[in-house]
Chain A
Amino acid sequence: MLEKIESADPANGPALAVRNLWAGYNGNPVLEAVNFQVDRGDMVGIIGPNGSGKSTLIKTVLGLVKPLRGEVSVLGRNGAPERHLVGYTPQTELVDWDFPVTVFDVALMGRYSRGGLFRRTTKEDREAADASLELVKMFDLRDRLIGELSGGQRRRVLLARAMAHNPELLLLDEPMAGLDATAQHQLLDLLDELRSKGATVVLSTHDLSCVSSRCDKAACLNRRLIAFGKPSEVLNEQVLGETFGTHLLMVHLDGQAYAVQHHTHPDGTAEVDHSDHEHD
């Protein structure tokens, strides 16, 4: 899978371009005037507090939320993206893990974006689903029910589903949530492997250290895009303070950046650290 090695094809434009994007629900904007561009092969981490519009941004790129103003172009194409070029994993809490389907069934669902209604799955679809499970190292568990998996394995299955149709752009909504440090690093290594084969990755996270150590670019979002650029350049006290609406202190340890809440604001509701890892 992912035979396409050539990374930057200027004729096709950047992997993702967001221009003056306003988007939200029922006419109320959550995102205001967001502008940024993701180069092919990059891994971009979107950080921001709860309610900052991370999921809305991802859903707008997917075409699930219509922009109120501005535009999104995916792989050089404006408007709703071609489904099979984009892979997406939702937040794990939004998935029904009691549903009686196997790991293989879920991976196969990733193939449904090819072809319309009434299309039966083919041998090629089943092989692609298996190849995708190999890729995320879940092939051995292909006949397990999804409810029997650990948090890290669940993430991998969702990733296999997103990869099953060989997308060029991967949109991952909070892929690190609920994973322990080992599982997080395994997942990030896997994403690096996919990128080496030409994929572009955009992920949302609460985990600053993951963005600063593993992503090419950081997008600091709090309804507006506070900053966008190399993590080493944009992840500073001022930007993080503005993003999370509270005073944060950056601590650099072993080449990694950590954010520490300096003192608690009376109205500070920001969540920056690993406090949302109680899921699973």
Chain B
Amino acid sequence: MIDFFTEPWEFAFMQRALLAAVFAALVCSVVGVFVVLRGMAFMGDAVAHSSLAGMSVAYFFGGSIFWGAFAWALPASLAITFISRRAQVRLDTAIGIIFASGFAVGIILMSRVNNYTADLFGLLFGNVLGVSWGEVLLIGLVAGGVLLVIIALYKELLFTAYDATMSAASGVPVRFIQYLLPLLVGITTVASLKAVGIVLVLALLVTPAATADLLARRLPRIMAISVVTGFVSTVAGLYLSFHADLPTGPSIVVVATGLFLAAMLFSPSKGVVWQAWRPSSLPVEEAGV
């Protein structure tokens, strides 16, 4: 029984995978709370997909895929914010354009590479078991940097997310914050690509935060529960992946989704199950606003 828990960590590649995935999950869980509250889920998804272009360019020329994604994701997240603020284009439209165009460029470039399918598969669905110590360090530093910025500017991020007009009236540099948050989402997304890949990063960003939102009422506690959920999903996902010989990224996402479903069904305050059992009390609660 003990072996079940200790065996995976006898392998250096599993230790690296654990660290990389946990770092990614922690930063995603915190940033994800803002993403869920502000309805920015598809912005994160768009940044991830469009960064395939940057990754492909780096891959094509033999550079670092991480920095390739980084170099693409930052302007992409700023561009989405800028277009939605300035141009006469709706936010979801801007997201759609940047999402698809970056992805298309990436696929075209990748198609010129010899073992096209295998490499593309790694970028799309992650390859955390192949992560190097250097990449672990990089993911850790980026995740730590994002968390430091969030801690330092917590009240400004909170205030602006809650009420931008009032926040501006209080002298908070709202425009700066409104560009900063998507930027942090973009950086977080890139830091998580190695762990879960382009297609699944959205799950790491949104699912733990959504689970926490069902279980807690106040923002600090929502963040704490989100972090715990993200951590548990990652570790359990790695065990599942190791013992059942399943792909790692999808395993993490499946566990996270399982936790979300459990919260949705059994959350003490918002659980679907409890609400189904006491239908008579519902109208009273609704009317008592």
CB–CB B222/A100 < 8 A: yes
A273 is an interface residue with CB less than 8 A from chain B: no
CB–CB A96/B163 < 8 A: yes
B62 is an interface residue with CB less than 8 A from chain A: no
On chain A, which size bracket covers the interface? 20 to 34
Q: Of A36-44, A87-95, A237-245, which stretch is located at the interface? A: A87-95
Chain B interfacial residues counted at CB < 8 A: 26
CB–CB A112/B217 < 8 A: no
Q: Of B149-157, B181-189, B239-247, which stretch is located at the interface? A: B149-157
Q: Which residues of the other chain, A, contact B159 by a CB distance below 8 angstroms?
A: 109, 112
CB–CB B162/A112 < 8 A: no
CB–CB A101/B162 < 8 A: yes
Tell me the bound Cα distance from A118 to B165 in angstroms.
20
CB–CB A88/B217 < 8 A: no
CB–CB B169/A88 < 8 A: yes
B45 is an interface residue with CB less than 8 A from chain A: no
CB < 8 Å neighbour of B165 from A94, A102, A106: A94
A148 is an interface residue with CB less than 8 A from chain B: yes
A9-54 residues at the B interface, CB under 8 angstroms: none
B144-187 residues at the A interface, CB under 8 angstroms: 152-153, 155-156, 158-159, 161-163, 165-173
Whole-angstrom distance from the CB of A236 to the nearest CB of chain B?
34
Pick from B153, B166, B167, B213 the residue with the most CB of A within 10 Å: B166
Whole-angstrom distance from the CB of A24 to the nearest CB of chain B?
17
**A113 closest partner in B (C-beta):** B170
Tell me the bound Cα distance from A106 to B158 in angstroms.
10
Pick from A59, A100, A105, A150 the residue with the most CB of B within 10 Å: A100
- A–B Cβ pairs within 8 angstroms, 15 of them: A59-B165, A90-B165, A95-B163, A96-B163, A99-B162, A100-B217, A101-B218, A102-B218, A109-B163, A112-B167, A112-B171, A113-B170, A118-B153, A145-B217, A148-B289
Q: What 9 pairs across the A-B complex have the smallest Cβ distances?
A: A113-B170, A83-B171, A88-B169, A62-B169, A99-B162, A100-B219, A112-B170, A90-B165, A109-B159
